[in-house]
Structure 1
Amino acid sequence: MPRLTAANLRSDSVHLRGFSYERDAVTPGIVHLGIGAFHRAHMAVYIDDILAQNPEWGIIGASLRRPDTKDALAPQDFLYTLASRDASGTRCRVIGSILDVLDANTQRQQLLDIMADSKIHIVSLTVTEKGYCHDPATGELDQAHPDIVHDLAHPSEPVSAPAIIVQAIEMRRQSGVAPFTVMSCDNLPANGETTRRIITRFASLRDPQLAEYIRENVAFPGTMVDRIVPATTDADRQMVKDIIGLEDAWPIMTEPFTQWVIEDRFPQGRPPFERVGAQMVSDVEPFERMKLRMLNGSHSTMAYLGYLGGYQYVSEAIADPIIHQLIHGLMTEEAMPTLPMPRADLERYRDQLLERFANPALKHRTWQIAMDGSQKLPQRLLGTIRDRLAKGEEIQRLALGVAAWMRYVTGIDEQGNLIEVKDPLAARLRAIADAAGRDAERLASGLLEVSEVFSADLRADPVFRTVVTGHLQNLLANGALATAKAVG
């Protein structure tokens, strides 16, 4: 079967929607670092809609770690299929907004030169929490991170996202080109401010004058991004091939729902995001906090409990009345009261989330969501817990999410099988678990000492320690579903 390419693309199929612009006329205006599945299901789709009217906003993508995205998309002119799935079926469209993908490991100077070009107005990121080389518990740059140590010693050969951005800004400054806007699209609390703080701190360690220039001239708008994007499987590739009649090496699976809230701070200009469904606001924080605490906090809790309970997919987990009740209660009783938004809006969002979780066509694996928990917990659960503890309020369901993570990172499931724990701290977490055995108090105490996850105030809080340890004891003794049922 022929490969998906510009020459082979035919949009006359009722199952396939192609782009409606002349792709040869598109010029790049955005460089995106971290050209993974989420970006291709979210921002690249919004830009694809924009290009019909504004062809100067094409995307140059960059892979910072592995060349697999470039290798998959280059033979197909960087086109790919977006497959939106729900119970009613699958709808496919081909996305053409990505003009090129660079491998930063082998094309570093080319990437920097493009970022330094005056036609680039925005550099955006989806590098996941760990890509910021920061301490998730504090949000500050981790100056001991190996990539940061390397980048301070070799500023013209950067490997980390913060250092690549700083080097490109310095190149523009030296040539008299105004700096681009830096737009994080990752699930970080106050992602714009956090990115600004990390980048200016790195710059200050490299050159205080450069840091001052960045503080005075570079904008870091905050964003809230929302779309569920499972990992693509071989079965997905076959399904897409059957629908479009072309071979696509890396199609993207997603849901119909998509949301993007953006702070309107782009001094060097921006695409008309509002024309294609994005919401432009002066302050993204309330939306971001709502999403982190309701969607992401629920997702992580459900992933750990669901995986331990034997559920491979989120839709299976939320279909269990025990987990459904727990997640409904977590959002309603513990997360929503911490959010400064109208109760009716939060209830609608909650109900919408529960419906999205239950989408049977979206094969979102609990194991995938469980990845990198040490990076995710501070944003998704611990901030909510901290706020509730400060008011003397209950944290039973939120603390169960933390305890379920502790049980998960032991690396042994409830049937005695190995869990492939994907986490930057996996070896260290497993060593703590092995030393503690099935002693819940030792295990909880050991993991609470991991300062990259738990800040000093939480480690010292007797209520937090007691509730988490109690849940962990029940998880070890009775299993995930029985413990979730008891919490309710």
Structure 2
Amino acid sequence: MEQALNRTTAGTGEAPPVKILQFGEGNFLRAFVDWMIDILNEQTSFSGAIEVIQPIPHGRVDTLNQQEGLYHVLLEGIRKGKPHAERRLITSVKGGLNPYEDYKGYLQLAENPGLEFIVSNTTEAGIAFDNTDTSADTIPNSFPGKLTALLYHRFTHFQGAPSKAPVIVPCELIDRNGDKLKQYVLQYADLWDTDPAFHSWIKQHCIFCNTLVDRIVPGYPEEKADSIQKEMGYNDQLIVAGEYFHLWVIEGPSHIQKQLPFQEAGLNVLFVDDLTPYRTRKVRILNGLHTSMVPVGYLNGNRTVKQAVDDEVLGPFLEKELFEEIIPTLDLPEEELSDFAHDILDRFRNPFIKHELSAIALNSISKYKVRVLPSLLKYHELHDTLPDRLVFALAAMICFYRGEWEGDKMPLNDSEEVIAFIQKAWRKKDIRDTVQMVLGNKSFWGQDLNDIQGLTQKITASVMEIQQNGITSTLQKAELWG
């Protein structure tokens, strides 16, 4: 029988002093930031631990504390052209706190004189302003509100000392994430009528970095967890699997690189003056292809990323979408984009990772707007015609959000409002009316997509074909795959 995993059974000793507060205990941060800090502690003089803050009322902080911050990361992928697998016990996390149960204790975390960094990943919707957060007297609903309360407590406790202003490094996948987070913190400072000196402290001394993160993290390896635990000899409820590839691009002052010497540890972390080219490349190619793949693949009977890219019809469809419709819209050297795209396809074909399409279906409508629609619009602008495959992916998404396909329920994972709206549209008698209603929702797309010449007709035709003949036959008939 496997023994409990904790610092006594694992023989790890106590964690080093806390230097980092982390909003979020999800799979990604634990397999990305916490993994990197663990390596940093091992291979450099950094010597800092992470205290995790649970950003929502229900999460995994209790389990994390039961294991005294310990868990294993399993990395599998292609490294230097060869299959590579490794397992690492993560010791960089001291523990966690649920501010919904202990708000006072949460604020007291700000009193740590050794705190240097705050990192976060509260999903793409996490960096938002909630005007119902009218005070820091009780726990704010939003992540920016919680962060403002913490920073204000630190500002007050250390009497506005510039040296106690932390570096904030958000990992949410939104454009200019650091800038937006800073904007909302200042907005809360105004709303709460805080000391004007707090504004100056935030503006002049707190550093908000814009970042880009890249690692595929499927999460808990359900199918092989039992065998892994038997092999390790520990009952680890927080095992997290990911690919070996990783990239973290951080835009900020050069001195941060000295504080976080990732490159000394051989980690793929870039400190840059402008991350815009890296973000555009990643969001349009990797994330855009993921988002396109979900509805087309799922309706085609594929359930994982690898199945989709290996499919004899869908695989060529995705490659043509990537090389003929996405890459031509990007303002970067063609060779660099092509190399990156081939790397992405290799990562998607990773034989070690079972990356479920359902796991990346979260908020697919908002993801299409951010990740795919800009490529469609740019292609239309450049060529005065519509990109067939990007349009087809949108048609498949409308079918996907119907909620049922050939007797199977679709894994819809979106807000109740989004799902209800599209399913209401499907109750229209005419498919063209359904398409017009969805494309006309400006809250989805930021504009009325019916205004794009030919788009409504093209999507209507594709939706009808998909409904009648399925994905494979429709792609073959339209010659969108070969």
TM-score (norm 1): 0.87
Q: How many Å separate the matches in 1 of 2:179 and 2:385?
A: 29
Contact 2:7 2:14 in 1 (8 A): no
Answering whether residue 153 of structure 2 is matched by residue 171 of structure 1, we say yes
Residue among 224, 227, 236 paired with 2:215:
227
Residue among 415, 434, 439 paired with 1:448:
439
Q: How many Å separate the matches in 1 of 2:166 and 2:341?
A: 36
Q: 1:252 Cα shift?
A: 0.4
Q: How many Å separate the matches in 2 of 1:62 and 1:471?
A: 46
Q: How many Å separate the matches in 2 of 1:218 and 1:387?
A: 36
Answering whether residue 87 of structure 2 is matched by residue 92 of structure 1, we say yes
- List aligned pairs for 1:15-26, cutoff 5 A: 24=14, 26=16
Contact 1:116 1:169 in 2 (8 A): no
Residue among 232, 242, 257 paired with 1:244:
232
Answering whether residue 238 of structure 2 is matched by residue 253 of structure 1, we say no
Answering whether residue 101 of structure 2 is matched by residue 106 of structure 1, we say yes
Contact 2:442 2:448 in 1 (8 A): no
Q: How many Å separate the matches in 2 of 1:177 and 1:401?
A: 52
Moved more, 307-316 or 439-448: 439-448
Contact 2:254 2:271 in 1 (8 A): no
Instruction: In structure 1, list runs of 5 or more residues that go unmatched.
Output: 11-21, 134-140, 142-147
CA shift in 2, pair 1:57/1:266, >3 Å: farther
TM-score (norm 2): 0.88
1:147-175 Cα shifts (integer Å, max 9, x gaps): x1331255642121010111122223333
Q: How many Å separate the matches in 2 of 1:390 and 1:344?
A: 23
SS in 2 for 1:225: strand
Q: Name the residue aligned to 2:420.
A: 428
Q: 1:4 Cα shift?
A: 2.0
Q: 1:68 Cα shift?
A: 3.5
Contact 2:127 2:180 in 1 (8 A): no
Answering whether residue 396 of structure 2 is matched by residue 412 of structure 1, we say no
Contact 2:401 2:419 in 1 (8 A): no
Equivalent position amino acid for 1:176 in 2: G
Q: 1:29 Cα shift?
A: 1.2
Answering whether residue 174 of structure 2 is matched by residue 188 of structure 1, we say yes
Contact 1:432 1:446 in 2 (8 A): no
Q: 1:231 Cα shift?
A: 3.2
Answering whether residue 44 of structure 2 is matched by residue 60 of structure 1, we say no
Q: Name the residue aligned to 1:42.
A: 32
- List aligned pairs for 1:86-165, cutoff 5 A: 86=77, 88=83, 90-115=85-110, 117-133=112-128, 141=129, 148-152=130-134, 156-165=138-147
Q: 1:40 Cα shift?
A: 0.8
Q: Name the residue aligned to 1:471.
A: 462
Q: 1:56 Cα shift?
A: 4.2
Q: Name the residue aligned to 1:265.
A: 253
Answering whether residue 343 of structure 2 is matched by residue 352 of structure 1, we say yes
Contact 1:35 1:63 in 2 (8 A): yes
CA shift in 2, pair 1:305/1:78, >3 Å: same
1:56-113 Cα shifts (integer Å, max 9, x gaps): 4321111112444212222221111111124847421101111111113212332232
Contact 2:168 2:207 in 1 (8 A): yes
Q: Name the residue aligned to 2:263.
A: 274
Moved more, 344-353 or 331-340: 331-340
Q: Name the residue aligned to 2:275.
A: 284
CA shift in 2, pair 1:431/1:280, >3 Å: same
SS in 2 for 1:422: coil
Answering whether residue 356 of structure 2 is matched by residue 361 of structure 1, we say no
Q: Name the residue aligned to 1:17.
A: none
Contact 1:403 1:469 in 2 (8 A): yes
Percent identical among aligned pairs is: 23
Instruction: In structure 2, list runs of 5 or more residues that go unmatched.
Output: none
Equivalent position amino acid for 2:179 in 1: E
Contact 1:221 1:263 in 2 (8 A): yes
SS in 1 for 2:45: coil
Aligned length: 462
Contact 1:63 1:101 in 2 (8 A): yes
Moved more, 379-388 or 261-270: 261-270
Equivalent position amino acid for 2:35 in 1: V
SS in 2 for 1:157: coil
Residue among 329, 340, 346 paired with 1:338:
329
Q: How many Å separate the matches in 2 of 1:252 and 1:167?
A: 31
Equivalent position amino acid for 1:478 in 2: N
Equivalent position amino acid for 2:10 in 1: L
Contact 1:305 1:480 in 2 (8 A): yes
1:226-260 Cα shifts (integer Å, max 9, x gaps): 11111314323213213312111110011111111
Q: Name the residue aligned to 2:388.
A: 396
Q: Name the residue aligned to 1:321.
A: 312
Equivalent position amino acid for 2:122 in 1: V
Q: CA RMSD in A?
A: 2.5
CA shift in 2, pair 1:386/1:112, >3 Å: farther
Moved more, 60-69 or 193-202: 193-202
SS in 2 for 1:24: coil
SS in 1 for 2:94: strand
Q: How many Å separate the matches in 2 of 1:103 and 1:241?
A: 27
Q: Name the residue aligned to 1:27.
A: 17
Q: 1:189 Cα shift?
A: 2.2
1:260-294 Cα shifts (integer Å, max 9, x gaps): 11113377873213323211111111111111000
Q: How many Å separate the matches in 2 of 1:378 and 1:265?
A: 31
Equivalent position amino acid for 1:120 in 2: L
CA shift in 2, pair 1:111/1:223, >3 Å: same
CA shift in 2, pair 1:444/1:215, >3 Å: farther
